[in-house]
Amino acid sequence: MGILTFSEGNTKLLVLQKEQNCVVTSFDLLAGHTCPAANLCKTWVDLITRKIVDGDDMLYRCYAASMEARYPNSFRAHLRNWLALRGKSIGEMVNLILADLPIKAGIVRIHASGDYFSKRYFLAWVRVAQARPDVKFFGYTKVL
């Protein structure tokens, strides 16, 4: 088992997998903790109490944070990914991601939970995509 956790994803991704006839995987980080541009949806799970915490301007709870509070395995996997990558150089992050990216992955969804927490981290994903032109990568972000 590697350091990083990639998951099969949700029902929508399984439909995409069937349509595209390839393996679709997802890579996630802790919601809220890794979301520098979140505001109206700013919600996270406290690392100690594992209780939901709402940001000052939160109008609606982040779905991913709610799922992390409900499912301890998801919380642990997202936390493990974040701890493994934060503070690393671009090259170190690229090496970690490439080492654990499933060989048969055809499509990778970056962040059903979490976001690009730094410019270095975003650039690492750009380099991963360049290193694996056989894979389609997509991700949503609030960081512009």
Which tens digits make up the pLDDT trace of 90-132? 999 999 999 999 998 999 999 999 999 999 999 999 999 999 9
- How much is the pTM? 0.91
pLDDT tens-place string over residues 2-21: 899 999 866 667 776 666 77
Q: pLDDT at position 8, please?
A: 81
HSE (side-chain half, CA atoms, 13 Å) at 84: 20
pLDDT at 68: 97
The structure tokens 């406290």 sit at 46
What are 24-37's pLDDT values in tens digits?
A: 899 999 999 999 99
Task: Annotate 71-87 with DSSP letters as a single string.
Answer: -HHHHHHHHHHHHHHTT
Q: What is the mean pLDDT of the chain?
A: 93
More confident residue, 144 or 36: 36
